[in-house]
Amino acid sequence: MKATVIRRERFSAAHRLYRPDWDDEKNMQVFGKCSWKNYHGHNYLLEVRVTGEIDPETGFVMNLSELKEMIRSVLQEFDHKNLNLDVPEFRELLPSTENLAVVLWNRLRNLIPAKFDLEIYLEETDKNAVVYRGK
């Protein structure tokens, strides 16, 4: 019997959407107030969804206290940080919610055993969110 277990964690970070190869006007036109030079920030909600067989010995798809530790080990490099300046993946990549979901998914995928399917939901504000399933 397969089920999906879900674990939610929150983190807070600053970021900015800006392409240095575009002028400020073009950045403003595409990214709007998200391109502001001094950064702004969000409380992100990350929901990690892991699908697999229910282990009859424990009744768990995955022990959520282990999953929680994996998520927190990933998030400690994002929480209370500046995504543009502090996260290596964003040196060349725009820290949009979509790209942030991809980066978080890749980091989590390295930690979560391959027998499990992985999907993440990432909320940037109460109105905007992204789901990423690893392509």
Other CB atoms within a 10 A radius of the CB of residue 4 amount to: 12
* 124 flagged as catalytic: yes
* 9 flagged as catalytic: no
Which of 87, 114 has the CB closer to its own copies? 87
* 80 flagged as catalytic: yes
Applying CB under 8 A, the residues found at the interface with its own copies are 1-10, 12-15, 17, 19, 30-34, 36, 38-43, 49, 54, 57-61, 63-65, 79-82, 85-86, 93-99, 101-102, 125-133, 135
Angstrom distances, CA of residue 81 to CA of 67, 100, 123, 134: 22, 13, 17, 24
Phi, psi (deg, nearest 5) at residue 53: -70, 145
- As annotated, the active-site residues are 34, 80, 124
